[in-house]
């Protein structure tokens, strides 16, 4: 072997040994090393003085005192589950802690009519949709539909359930008459789940009101025992699923609108068997939702703000029925003057009451918050999103284009016009985040009120 051949042999062995070492390293170690190197390169790019990244430019700065400040980001939101964030001295909106919303102050009279000798005050229970015995019958032009227990009879002939309910365990059936047809609700067991379906019956066939399952009625597995309730007229009626999680939709000329947002957990308060009473005054439509169950008295007002669908809710269940009347139950009806009459039961005593609804006090409203962040910070920017509010036109951010004015402040004193879904630069030395909503009253409609349910997404940045 020549000297040159020996050198080449040695080089070949060295190359072979290096490859052997690499081959002995598990593949995941290769990946880990490469990943760590990429992370290091990324961080060097972001935080190096030569980087062009906006993150680097905004993440650090030096204060007037020479202190290096870091930019932090945080989020906040308020569903108004309480009014702790509200500056009560500067806010004149009424706060309903059951519907957890702000509105104009309600204007009403609650008066006693008489003491009664029976739980219906001598009134016909079936005629006024009071809870009665196990039998109810309503006769319309096409015939008479009777509900006896959970069995249906049309013109005294047994009526089969809709086909979708074949072989289902029916737990509860409810019946409500319109002018030309009947509304029927079925609560049933499907597998291990309690569900509900609502139908319209015209004397010959059933029409599933939600055939595409747009608004499914499903009970929480731990809170079964729901009831379906109705109310309204042929061209405008409510369908309500009175479970623990209350669901409801409004049917207006055949079109469905979800109104479940107006029946939150505190409003439903564990669920109840609902009944809705609709009254009209001029161009305004007002609803009263009551309970057909003993031990679950409810009185809930809904209003439409002279629009096609419901735009607000206000509960009188606690402040009138519970706190004032200490009611065990309360049955509702509209009297001949279109006022709400309520039969209140307390033990073995029965009272007829009248609720005279004068709408809302029409006074320009303002809501002002305290500092909504936990402690004073040097605010840089904020973005406000998802305003939950209704007026006479919409129930979305569009209310700021028609009826509500939105403003923000960094010190609680100097407010400026705010915008939703756009980053707002705060003045220097802003120490907090405050916002305000203002609403104009409507002198021509005493039943008008905005309904403000929360501002649920505030993302902000601050120096510290």
Residues 316-332 have pLDDT tens digits of 999 999 999 999 999 99
The chain-wide mean pLDDT, for the chain, equals 89
* Better-scored residue on pLDDT, 82 or 238: 238
Q: Among the listed ranges 15-24, 66-75, 420-429, which one has the minimum average pLDDT value?
A: 15-24
Domains of the chain: 3-52 (no CATH), 61-98+364-463 (2.60.120), 132-272 (no CATH)
Query: What average pLDDT does this structure show over 137-152?
Result: 95
Is residue 12's pLDDT more than 50? no
Under the banding of pLDDT at 50, 70 and 90, the label for residue 364 is very high
Under the banding of pLDDT at 50, 70 and 90, the label for residue 35 is low
pLDDT tens digits for range 168-191: 999 999 999 999 999 999 999 999
Query: What average pLDDT does this structure show over 452-462?
Result: 94
Q: Among the listed ranges 124-128, 229-233, 336-340, 430-434, which one has the minimum average pLDDT value?
A: 124-128
What is residue 5's predicted lDDT score, i.e. its pLDDT?
Answer: 47
Under the banding of pLDDT at 50, 70 and 90, the label for residue 22 is very low
pTM to 2 decimals? 0.85
Under the banding of pLDDT at 50, 70 and 90, the label for residue 38 is low
* Phi-psi label, residue 106: left if phi above 0, alpha if psi -120 to 50, beta otherwise: beta
Query: What average pLDDT does this structure show over 394-410?
Result: 93
What is residue 51's predicted lDDT score, i.e. its pLDDT?
Answer: 39
Query: What average pLDDT does this structure show over 405-418?
Result: 96
Query: What average pLDDT does this structure show over 387-411?
Result: 94
Is residue 399's pLDDT more than 80? yes
What is residue 36's predicted lDDT score, i.e. its pLDDT?
Answer: 73
Under the banding of pLDDT at 50, 70 and 90, the label for residue 195 is very high
* Better-scored residue on pLDDT, 58 or 184: 184
What is residue 62's predicted lDDT score, i.e. its pLDDT?
Answer: 80
Under the banding of pLDDT at 50, 70 and 90, the label for residue 6 is very low
What is residue 130's predicted lDDT score, i.e. its pLDDT?
Answer: 80
Query: What average pLDDT does this structure show over 373-402?
Result: 91
pLDDT tens digits for range 151-172: 999 999 999 999 999 999 999 9
pLDDT tens digits for range 102-132: 999 999 999 999 999 998 998 887 667 787 6
How many residues make up the chain in this entry? 464
What is residue 61's predicted lDDT score, i.e. its pLDDT?
Answer: 80
What is residue 11's predicted lDDT score, i.e. its pLDDT?
Answer: 44
Say if CB 280 and CB 301 are below 8 A apart.
no
Query: What average pLDDT does this structure show over 394-401?
Result: 91
pLDDT tens digits for range 336-362: 999 999 999 999 999 999 999 999 999
* Better-scored residue on pLDDT, 238 or 31: 238
């Amino acid at each position: 072997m020549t000297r040159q051949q020996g050198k080449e042999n040695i080089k070949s062995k060295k190359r072979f040994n290096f490859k052997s070492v690499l081959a002995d390293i598990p593949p995941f170690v290769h990946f880990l090393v490469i990943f760590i190197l990429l992370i290091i390169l990324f961080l060097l790019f972001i935080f190096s003085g030569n980087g062009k990244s906006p993150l680097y430019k905004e993440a650090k700065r030096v204060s007037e005192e020479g202190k290096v400040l870091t930019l932090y980001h945080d989020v906040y939101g308020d569903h108004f589950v309480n009014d702790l964030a509200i500056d009560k001295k500067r806010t004149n909106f009424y706060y309903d802690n059951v519907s957890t919303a702000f509105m104009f102050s309600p204007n009403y009279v609650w008066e006693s009519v008489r003491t009664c000798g029976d739980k219906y005050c001598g009134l016909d229970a079936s005629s006024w949709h009071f809870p009665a015995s196990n039998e109810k019958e309503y006769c319309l032009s096409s015939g008479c539909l009777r509900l006896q227990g959970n069995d249906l009879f049309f013109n005294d002939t047994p009526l089969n359930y809709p086909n979708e309910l074949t072989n289902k365990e029916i737990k509860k059936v409810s019946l409500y008459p319109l002018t030309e047809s009947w509304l029927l609700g079925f609560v049933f067991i499907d597998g291990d789940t309690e569900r509900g379906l609502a139908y319209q019956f015209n004397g010959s066939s059933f029409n599933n009101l939600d055939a595409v399952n747009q608004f499914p009625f499903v009970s929480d597995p731990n809170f079964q025992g729901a009831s379906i309730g109705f109310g309204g007229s042929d061209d405008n009626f409510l369908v309500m699923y009175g479970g623990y999680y209350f669901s409801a939709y409004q049917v207006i000329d055949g079109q469905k609108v979800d109104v479940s947002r107006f029946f939150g957990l505190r409003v439903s308060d564990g669920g109840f068997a609902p009944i809705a009473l609709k009254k009209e005054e001029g161009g305004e439509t007002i609803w009263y939702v009551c309970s057909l169950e003993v031990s679950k008295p409810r009185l809930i007002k809904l209003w439409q703000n002279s629009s096609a669908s419901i735009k607000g809710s206000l509960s009188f269940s606690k402040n009138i029925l519970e706190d004032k009347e200490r009611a065990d139950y309360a049955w509702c009806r509209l009297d001949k003057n279109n006022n709400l009459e309520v039969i209140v039961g307390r033990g073995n005593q029965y009272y007829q009451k009248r609720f005279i609804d004068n709408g809302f006090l029409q006074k320009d409203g303002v809501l002002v918050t305290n500092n909504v962040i936990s402690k004073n910070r040097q605010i840089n920017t904020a973005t406000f999103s998802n305003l939950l509010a209704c007026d006479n036109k919409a129930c979305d951010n569009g209310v700021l284009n028609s009826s509500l004015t939105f403003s923000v402040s960094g010190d609680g004193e100097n407010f400026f016009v705010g915008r939703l879904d756009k980053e707002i630069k705060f003045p220097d030395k802003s120490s907090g985040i405050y916002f305000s909503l203002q609403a104009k009253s409507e002198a021509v409609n005493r039943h008008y009120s905005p309904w403000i349910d929360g501002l649920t997404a505030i993302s902000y940045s601050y120096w510290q």
